[in-house]
Structure formats: structure tokens, C-alpha cells
Amino acid sequence: MSDGRRPAPARGRPRDAGRDVAILEATLLVLTEVGYDRLTIDAVAARAGVGKPTVYRRYPGKAALVAAAVEHRVPGTPPATPPGDLRAALLLTVRWLADQIAEQEIGLLGALFTGMRNDPGLAAEMRRILRRDEAAMTEEPFRSAVESGEWLVPGAAELFAEIAPAVIVHRLIFAGRPCDQPFLEHLVDDVLLPLLQRR
């Protein structure tokens, strides 16, 4: 939404764009490290090598800062999938997805959990980002699959986006178990493939 940039001051010293990105990247770092509620502006400023007023000059508070940081975040691109082998493509995508969630997104999901209670705007923003990432994620494996002449149930991409992240997050958070290779193969062979290729 608002990125903290004013229309046209045009007078006096302009803001340092380098500090802009330093603040956002530091926010993401702190967010993934300690979670949303333990994130403090002081910690972000220190990590960014920046004074605290420099942060407050750009964002009114924690919610806006985190929203801007998540917005700024460039999601990793899913790996290119080999054409002609749907199982391998799904396995590759699911492994990449599990790594992404385990390494980065847990902090974002925690922010979503925490922030949605008091700041619905932040929650909506984060959901928008997550949808964007998921869309980018589901595009690749199914495009190559369809190109290979593979038959898939209609709405396969949506079904995948609905189930795969859910099950992975459920295992990581609620079960507290890692998404190792046997689990991912189970997910692909016993859940995803039967659903996507069902006729």
C-alpha cells in the first residue's frame, strides 16, 4: 500500500535509497529470526546500521514496516521442472516449497497469525503476498506438464496450491517433524498424483 515515500519534497537532502533497502532487508532478517511480536524497531534499525528516527521517518510503526518488507521481498523462483515426468516435477517443486517454508516463510506466517488479530490491514496485505507467491509457484510445473501432453484434472494448479502448502505447513508446525524425502514422496505418491491424475 503506502511505501512511505512522499510526493515531491524536492528541497533539502533527499532520502537515501540505500537505507530504504537496508531497512527492509533488515526487517525480513529480524522477522525470520525472532518472529513478529519479538521484532522491535530498535533491533531493525541496529541491524540495518541506521538510526531509529530514520525508520520512523519512513513508516509509522511495526505493522507498516513489516508489510512493506514483505512486499519488497523477492520470492525465490521455483526450480525448472523436467518435461515429460510429472512425478519428478512435483517432487522437485514440493521439495523446493518445503525448503522455502522452513527457511523463510515460517516467520511470515507467524506474522500473519499474530498481526491478523489487531491489524486486519496487515493480514490482508500478507495474504495478498502469499497468493502472489503461490501463483508464481504453481505456474511452472503444470505448464511443462501440459506441454508434455500429460493429462491433468481441470483446476489442477489450484488444487495443488490448496493442498501442498497446507500439508507441508501442517507437518512443520503442528507435527513438528521435518519434510524429509520419504514424507515428500508420500505426499506426491499418495496424495498429489492420485488427485491430479484422477479420471
Question: Which residues form the interface with a second copy (CB under 8 A)?
Answer: 34-35, 37-38, 109-110, 112-114, 116-118, 123-124, 127, 130-131, 159, 162-163, 165-167, 169-171, 173-176, 190-191, 194-195, 198
- The window from 56-64, 97-105, 149-157, 178-186 that contacts DNA (CB under 7 A) reads 56-64
Residue 39 to residue 120: CA distance in whole angstroms: 18
Q: Which of 1, 57, 131, 132 binds DNA (CB under 7 A)?
A: 57
Coil, helix or strand for 156? helix
Quick one: CA dihedral 60, 61, 63, 68, positive or negative? positive
Nearest in space to 36 (alpha carbons), one of 111, 109, 124:
111
Q: Which of 56, 75, 129, 197 binds DNA (CB under 7 A)?
A: 56
Q: Work out how close the CB of 22 gets to DNA at its nearest, in angstroms, rounded to a whole number.
A: 8
- With binding defined as CB under 7 A, does residue 7 bind DNA? no
Residues 6+ apart with CB under 8 A from 195: 153, 159, 163
H or E element: which one contains 30?
helix 17-34
Contact (Cβ atoms closer than 8 angstroms) between residue 129 and residue 70? yes
Q: Degrees (nearest 5) of the Cα angle 7, 69, 99?
A: 155
- With binding defined as CB under 7 A, does residue 50 bind DNA? yes
- With binding defined as CB under 7 A, does residue 11 bind DNA? yes
Q: Which is nearer to DNA, 86 or 123 (CB)?
A: 123
- With binding defined as CB under 7 A, does residue 38 bind DNA? yes
Sites of contact with DNA (CB under 7 A): 6, 9-16, 19, 38-42, 49-54, 56-58, 61-62
